[in-house]
Structure 1
Amino acid sequence: MNNAQDNPFRSEKALKRLRRRRNADMRFQGYGIVALGFALFALVFLISAIAWKASGASTYHVIRVDLELSPQTILPEGDASPEEITRNIEGFYSLVRNDLLTRFPEANETVQSKRAFSSLIDRMAVLPLAREVADEPHLIGQTTSVDVPLSDDVDMFLKGAAPRAIFLRVGEASSPMRNAEEGDFKIEVDRLNKVSAKIAAIGQHGAEPTVLLVADKSVGRIKSMEDGDVILEILTGRQDQFDGASVKAVIIPSPEDQRSVSDQQIAWALALKAEGVIKRVPHFSLLTHTDSTYPELAGALAALVGSLLTMLVTAAVSIPMGIFAAIFLEEFAPKNRLTQIIEVNINNLAAVPSIVFGLLGATLLLGTFGLPRSAPLVGGLVLALLILPVVIIAARAALRAVPPSIRSGALAVGASRMQAVFHHVLPLALPGMLTGAILGMARALGETAPLLLIGMVAFVAEVPSSTTDEATALPVLIYSWASNAERAWEPMTAAVIVILLAILVLMNLAVVLLRRKFERRW
């Protein structure tokens, strides 16, 4: 027997090659772990960022007002038809505005102040009240409590989003003393040094912050501070409410001319909140309202229904057509040059950009056949063409996965070719076919470019009731809201993205459940 040292597999050169091979394997595993970790981190970061942004749209602020629905205001011309009541938005808005104006006499002093106060609530915010009264005319002449959404600018401030504000408890205030300048007064505050420190820190960045002092329902703006004394300009409320009251400071870093909400509007909002009139409530209207030009009134119901109707048309066209085309190509079609060309083109169509299908739909379906623009019918047909190659490829793969012995056994006992395919092969391949179909539908649900080209980007204020009504879809709504300049649209857009992702997750969950329940391993 040869010595172990003479064994060629124990040579130093062989051992070095073995070590290099093992090191290469370990590096490859490390690369895989790093890649997987990076992908998971990116996914978690993306979902967390969207969820954090969408949390701002989960609630919104409303004003509770008690209104006397007088017939003189609601029915100025005596016409009590539902159409006229709903059309009289100005009448309902004047009821809400006048009820709030009685709380703030300073808002009636000038035209500018009245206009600024009216901006706390948008006119269209009373549309749900008008529709409710139109549906229930017996409410006319009665007193009712109504929750009216605040404007998006004030709502964003109260949520702490824009403009950002710093709230500090600064202790009790002394008795106010009249200052030389009319409208101002002097008070002493216990912990004014906290405010001074914050102002100094903000001033290092070149900004001059606004500082408001809030005592109960009164709000004043600091004009100067020195040695614990504060010269205060009253914005709303009474001076005597500062006497011995617990005072809260509101520091707003951004200058007033760079904000969409003024100091006076902030003062009114803080006073209403202190009174308990303003409340933060869940934003269920995101799922119950249709689109609007005002963020606080907008909802995704029309887009959600439009997406469902579009997916219905897509499924009704692409799934049966794709499955039967796959069965024919895989089981019955002769293997010749023509079928080879068809198969190659099906594979090529699966890689065609979606915008090309949108151009095809705009030219053929809208231009040639004259189908209605912005309708789920057209959107569904375009998306059906888009995912048809995917459905065919997945269905053919599912048919190939069925063992040939199933076909041979069926033919051996006297079944025809048609019976062998539809009675034996198809039931076994159907779970895989449905899996591919649902994955194709999930892709179609998230497509935007084809729908933009066929006009489904239109503003839709009514819920579509059929596949020929004007409609939009969730991805198009996301694109439309993300294009708006107002800051309030950002959380709304993120919330609709969460809704779309939730639907996609449910569709993928359905795929997993179908696979586990019906899949058979051979």
Structure 2
Amino acid sequence: MTDARQAPSSRALIERSLKRRNAAERRFRLYGVLAICVALGFLALLLGRIIQQGHSAFVAHEMSVSVPLDPSRIDRSYPAGANYDLMAAEQVGALLGISPTDEAALTEVREILSPDVGLQLGEQVRDDPALIGQTITIHAPLGDDADQYLKGEINRETLEAQRVLTDRQLDWIDRLEARGVISSALNTGLFTRGDSTQAELAGLLGAIVGSALMLLVTAAVALPIGLLAAVWLEEFAPKGRLTDFIEVNINNLAAVPSIVYGLLGLAVFINTLGLPRASPLVGGLVLALMALPTVIIATRSSLRAVPPSIREAALALGASKTQAVFGHVVPLAMPGVMTGAIIALAHALGETAPLLMIGMISFVPGVAEGFTSAASTLPTQIFIWENAAERAFHERTAAAIIVLLAFMILMNAAAIFLRRRFERRW
């Protein structure tokens, strides 16, 4: 009788326990889904804010103006000394009904024009003095403040004293746009120009070239050294305290803050070896040191994933240890090796702190001509532009972030493709 009475009670306990377990499992799944949703929400918020702020930088407003090159105002022996900016401003002023003698109004007109107008005129006259006396048409970017107004970043309703453009200048811009003198187009200069103190003339070409040269140095140093070090540790090194010590330190180096590598590069490569500051060579060497632990760890994991039977089969057929490793094991591990290498390089591409320590925060207007030339990179260019005072540079900062993210996404996509394309299931 006692067992019969206890049986329902035990069954009820088991059922309640199962319900609690199932409820706990459902809550755990719900927490997981919520965590993913929160992470995706923050990611969407971040990307949305960057795209919202930076998409307008890929479009620029330019002005078309025909300028007569008056021979009386240009010295043929020294054509660069002419005031081409004033000549262009006078022609724009003529379209607006401004007298050439109204110096105050012409000064305001010049403020809405880009210095590129005068630069283009001067370069064309310098290259072809026969243009003096003729009328030439210039297509140049609009000044950064006028460009920001047409993009809606400067509000006419704001008090005039709190704006960089006066009401009269805003009226002129509207009139010129209505007459078709001002038009919008794809901002190709963002990718074909180097950095500049003028926001409308600043581009990313110098930073892109600098990043590419730096990654070439990083890959040339980190990949072969990392591969050989991983092969030695995994396949040839005798197991003992020395190898254990090396393995522990490699794992620890992977967690060292990146700015420490920048200090090391400043002390060793610049102060001791005398290599040029702010050069892709030094930047690549510093990032190579930072990428080495990641490359070694990824390569060792790939080598470990190759079945021992591959090694044993090669040795059984008479291959030496070296032949078995480099002829069979390493080729089979290459998909994982390449994936780890690309991820390490993508990580290096986005690093900023070590590059700031070696002087890559400097203003570099041109494009690096070699590995020892002064250069900028995409992360440091973003840092420099974000600290600029002009509003238009902040727009370009977000655009540069979009370009950097695009490069990193492409590199990670390449890593995923290589892994799926060449990976073998054992």
User: After TM superposition, is the score higher than 0.5?
Assistant: yes
**Residue of structure 2 equivalent to 1:101:** 93
Q: What does 1:478-493 align with in structure 2 at a 5 Å threshold? A: 478-493=382-397
SS class of match (1:119): helix
SS of match in other structure, 2:183: strand
Q: Structure 2 residue aligned with 1:155, among 147, 152, 156?
A: 147
Larger % of strand: which? 1
Between the two proteins, the alignment pairs up a number of residues equal to 425
Give the distance between the partners of 1:262 and 1:294, measured in 2 at CA. Answer: 20
Q: Does 1:358 align with 2:262?
A: yes
Give 1:29's aligned residue. 29
* RMSD between superposed Cα atoms in Å: 2.1
The normalised TM-score by structure 2 is: 0.94
Q: Which residue of 2 aligns with 1:78?
A: 77
1:118 to 104, 107, 110: 110
Alignment partner of 1:293 out of 174, 184, 197: 197
Query: How far, CA to CA, are the matches of 2:285 and 2:24 in structure 1?
Result: 51
Read off the aligned partner of 2:138 and give its amino acid letter.
V
Structure 2 CA distance for partners of 1:5 and 1:427, relative to 1, 3 Å: farther
Q: CA deviation at 1:128?
A: 4.1
CA distance in 1, matches of 2:137, 2:73: 17
- Specify the alignment match of 1:222 in structure 2: none
What amino acid sits opposite 1:60 in the alignment?
Answer: A
2:224 corresponds in structure 1 to: 320
Match of 1:11 in 2: 11
What is the CA distance between 1:352 and its match in structure 2? 0.3
Cα 1:306/1:9, change in 2 over 3 Å = farther
Q: Does structure 1 residue 60 correspond to structure 2 residue 55?
A: no
TM superposition shift of 1:385: 0.4
Work out the CA distance in 2 between the residues paired with 1:518 and 1:5: 64
Distance in 1 of aligned mates of 2:124 and 2:423: 52
Q: Deviations over 1:460-512 (max 9, x none)?
A: 11111210111000000001001112211121111111110110011011001
Q: Check if 1:396 corresponds to 2:296.
A: no
Is the contact made by 2:114 and 2:140 (CA closer than 8 Å) also made in structure 1?
Answer: no
Structure with the bigger RCO (C-alpha within 8 Å, sep 6+) is 2
CA distance in 2, matches of 1:403, 1:152: 61
Q: In 2, Cα distance between the equivalents of 1:422 and 1:133?
A: 63
TM-score (norm 1): 0.78
Q: Distance in 2 between matches of 1:422 and 1:140?
A: 69
C-alpha displacement at 1:125, in angstroms? 4.3
Alpha carbons of 1:409 and 1:136: their partners in 2 closer, same or farther (altered >3 Å)? farther
AA aligned to 1:123 is: P
1:95-494 pair list within 5 angstroms:
95-106=87-98, 108=100, 110-135=102-127, 139-162=131-154, 164=155, 252-494=156-398
Q: Answer whether contact 1:5 1:11 (CA < 8 A) is retained.
A: no
1:227 maps to what in 2? Answer: none
Amino acid at match of 1:118: R
Equivalent residues of 1:73, 1:92 under 8 A apart: no
Q: Describe the superposition over 1:160-202 as per-residue Cα deviations: whole angstroms up to 9, x where unpaired.
A: 111x2xxxxxxxxxxxxxxxxxxxxxxxxxxxxxxxxxxxxxx
Q: 1:276 to 1:340 in 2, by over 3 A?
A: same
Counterparts of 2:99 and 2:198, CA distance in 1: 24
Distance in 2 (alpha carbons) for counterparts of 1:137 and 1:407: 75
Deviations 1:322-351 (A, max 9, x none): 011000111011111111111111100000
Matched position secondary structure for 1:11: helix
Aligned-pair CA distance for 1:298: 0.7
C-alpha distance in structure 2 between counterparts of 1:107 and 1:481, whole Å: 38
SS of match in other structure, 1:56: helix
State whether residues 116 and 265 of structure 1, in contact with CA within 8 Å, keep that contact through their aligned partners in structure 2: yes
**Greater helix proportion:** 2
Instruction: Indicate the larger mover: 412-421 or 132-141.
Output: 132-141
Local SS of the residue matching 1:57: helix
Q: 1:318 to 1:261 in 2, by over 3 A?
A: same
In structure 2, the residue corresponding to 1:488 is in which secondary structure?
Answer: helix
In the TM superposition, what is the alpha-carbon distance from 1:452 to its structure 2 partner?
A: 0.6
Structure 2 partner of 1:39? 39
Q: Deviations over 1:217-263 (max 9, x none)?
A: xxxxxxxxxxxxxxxxxxxxxxxxxxxxxxxxxxx321111111001
Deviation at 1:266, TM superposition (A): 0.8
**Cα distance 1:108–1:98, how it changes in 2: closer, same or farther (>3 A)?**
closer
Distance 1:125 1:92 in 2: 8
Letter in 2 for 1:317: V
1:129-178 per-residue CA deviation (whole Å, 9 max, x = no partner) reads 5445545566555432211222111111111111x2xxxxxxxxxxxxxx
Contact 1:272/1:278, CA 8 A, preserved across alignment:
yes
Structure 1 residues 71 and 365: CA distance shift in structure 2, 3 A: farther
Rounded Cα–Cα distance in structure 1 between residues aligned with 2:85 and 2:142: 13
Structure 2 alignment gaps of length 5 or more: none
- Residue in structure 2 matched with residue 195 of structure 1 by the alignment: none
Distance 1:391 1:8, change over 3 A: farther
CA separation in 2, counterparts of 1:266 and 1:331? Answer: 72
Structure 2 Cα separation of the partners of residues 444 and 320 of structure 1? 16
* Residue type of the alignment partner of 1:66: S
**Alpha-carbon deviation of 1:16?**
0.9
Amino acid corresponding to residue 295 of structure 2 in structure 1:
V
Q: The residue matched to 2:95 in structure 1 has which SS?
A: coil
How far 1:425 moved relative to its partner?
0.2
Q: Which amino acid aligns with 1:482?
A: E
Deviations 1:380-430 (A, max 9, x none): 000000111000000000000001111111111111000000011000001
Residue equivalent to 1:48: 48
3-state DSSP class of the match of 2:391? coil
Q: Describe the superposition over 1:4-57 as per-residue Cα deviations: whole angstroms up to 9, x where unpaired.
A: 986589621111111110000000000001111111122222212211211211
- 8 Å CA contact 1:107, 1:117 repeated in 2: no
